[in-house]
């Protein structure tokens, strides 16, 4: 199936209708369908055949902007089995893990399929995404969401119901994305599957998960120094000369950690900084200090 449909709206398309107050409604077009709202109704036939960016008027006189979903809009409105990875984090994963056209990508923890949609777009028709999900009910929701957005099954995507460590059968993988409660348990399996130079990217929610993930990557010996961060988004209100930040923002959703796979038999050089006093507890403080290069 294709990645996106272009041209005039057709039956089967998902259309996002936005009213003057920026309230958004998702409609799947049908030949005889009707969109009902307290501001009147709109026959789907008023949309079918019209180009994106059209304005339609309800029977009550309210105007609606009509566009196909952007992927970011779709992932926020899709049915959920598990919590979705927000677009701001999906964008960071695609960019900072350097997911490129033609890449061979493995993700563990498919959730509701939000990140999967972004990964499939990033790898393109020549790439491949393999997703591992322990829960069959989550896998079913993700399959429906991915196929709904892309218009059917994707040849580039393989979904495996099972544990990542036990079911992983991929080798020479370019990128591995871990979205799970305990990604540190999967670091060894990921190292064996990744090609030298490949990237591992872990998405975690809490600081304790973040700490254990980073320390496991450091101690494994097959990865470069992990890079950890989070992304915050703050919109701005702009009306003439009244320019100010919005009172609300998209704050913490999760932490991201990336590291690169070293060549076989090669270990990274020691970190060139001294750990903070007490960072590793009293028992390991001395050894941690000796292992660091001042």
The predicted-structure confidence for 166-203, as pLDDT tens digits, reads as follows: 999 989 999 999 999 999 999 999 999 999 999 999 99
Cα 107 from Cα 96, distance rounded (Å): 15
Residue with tokens 């038999």: 265
Share of the chain above pLDDT 90, in %: 73
**Domain 14-69, classified CATH 3.10.330.20, yes or no:** yes
Closest CA to 93 of 78, 75, 81: 75
136 annotated to bind ligand: no
The pLDDT value recorded for residue 284 is 53
More confidently predicted of 285 and 262: 262
Query: Known binder of ligand: residue 179?
Result: yes
227-229/255-260 β-pairing: antiparallel
Per-residue confidence (pLDDT) for residue 279, from 0 to 100:
73
Task: Give residue 221's pLDDT.
Answer: 92
Confidence check: pLDDT of 277 > 80: no
Give pLDDT, residue 239. Answer: 93
Residue 294 reports pLDDT greater than 50: no
What span, in angstroms and rounded, lies between the C-alpha atoms of 104 and 126? 9
- 285 has pLDDT over 60: no
The CATH number of the domain covering residues in 75-263 = 3.40.50.150
pLDDT of residue 276: 72
Looking at residues 141-170, what average pLDDT do you find? 93
What per-residue confidence (pLDDT) applies to 286? 52
pLDDT greater than 90 at residue 207: yes
172 is in an annotated binding site: no
Which pLDDT value is given to residue 76? 87
The residues spanned by each domain of the chain are 14-69, 75-263
- Burial of 184 per CB tally in 10 Å (0-12, 13-18, 19+): buried
Between CA 96 and CA 98 the distance in angstroms is 5
**Is it the case that residue 292 has pLDDT exceeding 50?**
no
221 in a labelled binding site: no
114 has binding-site annotation: yes
Distance spanning both ends of the chain, measured CA to CA: 56
Mean pLDDT, rounded, of the chain: 90
Residues 152, 122 contacting (CB under 8 angstroms): no
Q: For tokens 């209100």, what's the residue?
A: 237
Task: Compute the distance between CA of residue 271 and CA of residue 291 in angstroms, rounded to an integer.
Answer: 8
């Amino acid at each position: 199936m294709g990645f996106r449909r272009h041209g005039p709206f057709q039956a089967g398309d998902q259309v996002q209708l936005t009213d003057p107050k920026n309230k958004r409604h998702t409609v799947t077009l049908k030949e005889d369908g009707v969109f009902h709202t307290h501001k009147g109704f709109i026959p789907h036939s008023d949309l079918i055949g019209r180009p994106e960016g059209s304005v339609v008027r309800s029977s009550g006189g309210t105007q609606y902007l009509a566009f196909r979903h952007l992927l970011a809009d779709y992932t926020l409105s899709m049915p959920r089995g598990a919590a979705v990875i927000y677009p701001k984090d999906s964008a960071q994963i695609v960019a900072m893990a350097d997911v490129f056209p033609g890449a061979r990508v493995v993700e563990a923890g498919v959730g509701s399929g939000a990140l999967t949609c972004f990964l499939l777009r990033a790898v393109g028709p020549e790439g491949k995404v393999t997703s591992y999900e322990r829960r069959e009910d989550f896998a079913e929701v993700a399959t429906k969401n991915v196929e709904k957005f892309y218009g059917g099954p994707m040849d580039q995507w393989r979904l495996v119901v099972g544990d990542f460590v036990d079911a992983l059968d991929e080798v020479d993988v370019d990128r591995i994305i871990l979205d799970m409660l305990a990604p540190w348990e999967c670091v060894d399996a990921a190292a064996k599957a990744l090609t030298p130079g490949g990237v591992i990217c872990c998405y975690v929610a809490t600081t304790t998960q973040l700490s254990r993930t980073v320390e496991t990557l450091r101690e494994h010996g097959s990865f470069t120094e992990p890079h950890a961060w989070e992304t915050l988004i703050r919109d701005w209100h702009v009306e003439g000369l009244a320019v100010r930040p919005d009172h609300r923002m998209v704050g913490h959703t999760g932490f991201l950690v990336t590291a690169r796979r070293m060549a076989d038999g090669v270990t990274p050089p020691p970190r060139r900084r001294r750990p903070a006093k007490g960072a590793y507890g009293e028992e390991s403080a001395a050894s941690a200090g000796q292992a660091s290069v001042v």
